Amino acid sequence: SQQGEEDPQALSIQEGENATMNCSYKTSINNLQWYRQNSGRGLVHLILIRSNEREKHSGRLRVTLDTSKKSSSLLITASRAADTASYFCATDSYSGGGADGLTFGKGTHLIIQP
Amino acid sequence: ETGVTQTPRHLVMGMTNKKSLKCEQHLGHNAMYWYKQSAKKPLELMFVYSLEERVENNSVPSRFSPECPNSSHLFLHLHTLQPEDSALYLCASSQQTGLTYNEQFFGPGTRLTVL
C-alpha cells in the first residue's frame, strides 16, 4: 500500500521564488527521505531526516518533519531552472518483517519558469 | 555519477524473449535493490538483497527472477514478459545498518519496452 503521498502533484513557479512540497504518510517511520528525479533518469538522494529530528538543512533545501501529523515538507529556496524535476518522499517504515524497504510516493513535478 | 551503473540503458523485447538486466555498484554497499517505475504510479520495490541474501517479495510475478552473485552485482532475469511490464527499471544500493534503510544511490535505469 502507498505510504508517502506528495502534495501538490505539480507545481510551476518563477525562477527565484521558493518552492514548497509536502508529504504525508500513514505508519510510524524510522526516517523520511527526499529524492529528485530528472526526466527518465535515476533518482538522486537529497536529504534524510530521522524520526527524532524536526528540521534539517542542506544548502538551499530545508526539510521539516512532524511525526504527530505524519507529514514532512521540502522547501527549496531561491529556485533555479535546474531545479526542474520530480521530487519524491520515501519512508523507512520498518514494521518488523525487515522486507519493507523504502516506500515512495507518486512525486511532485516541479517546473521552474525562467 | 552516482557509482551505480546499469546496462543496457534501453531494451526492446518480445513476449517470448529472455533477457537480463545488469546492475553494478562501486560504493562498497551491502544492500542492493530493484525498483519498477511505471507512468503515473509510485516507485515499486521489487527485490531487496541485503548481505547477498534476498528478502522475499511475493507480490512480484515469477517471470522476474533476481540474482545477486556478490555484493557488487545484481541481475534481473526476464522471461515471457507482458506488455504491461514495460517500465523504467531502477537499481539502487545502500549501506544498510541493522534494519534501517538509509539513503539509496540509484543507477540511471533501464527503459524496457515489451512488444
What are B18-47's pLDDT values in tens digits? 999 999 999 999 999 999 999 878 889 999
* Closest CB to B100 among A30, A40, A99: A30
Residue A59: closest CA among A43, A73, A46, A72: A46
Residue B72 pLDDT exceeds 70: yes
Residues of A in contact with B48 (CB under 8 A): 99, 101
CA atoms of A56 and B36, how far apart (whole Å): 29
Model confidence band, residue A93 (pLDDT cutoffs 50, 70, 90): confident
B70 neighbors B12 (Cβ within 8 angstroms): no
Residues in chain B: 115
Point out the least confidently predicted range of A43-52, A54-63, B55-64, B102-111: B55-64
Residue of A nearest to B46 (CA): A101
Residue A63 pLDDT exceeds 60: yes
User: Cβ neighbours of residue B86 under 8 Å, at least 6 residues apart?
Assistant: B38, B112, B113, B114
CA atoms of A94 and A6, how far apart (whole Å): 20
CB contact under 8 A, A43 and B42: no
23-62 of A, contacting B, C-beta below 8 A: 30-31, 33, 35, 40-45, 48
pLDDT of residue A100: 61
A3 neighbors A89 (Cβ within 8 angstroms): no
Find which of B7, B101, B103 to mutate to test the A interface (most A CBs within 10 Å of its CB): B101
Mean pLDDT of chain A: 90
CA atoms of B21 and B38, how far apart (whole Å): 17
* Closest CB to B99 among A41, A45, A94: A94
Residues of B in contact with A102 (CB under 8 A): 45, 101, 104
CB pairs under 8 A between A and B: 66
pLDDT of residue A1: 41
pLDDT of residue A54: 97
Q: How far is CA A84 from the centre of its chain?
A: 14
Name the 3-class secondary structure at A82.
Answer: helix
CB contact under 8 A, A99 and B57: yes
| A14 C-beta neighbours (distance < 10 Å), count | 9
Let me know if A33 is exposed, middle or buried by CB neighbors in 10 A (0-12, 13-18, 19+). Answer: buried
Residue B92 pLDDT exceeds 50: yes
Instruction: Express each pLDDT in A13-35 by its tens digit.
Output: 999 999 999 999 998 888 999 99
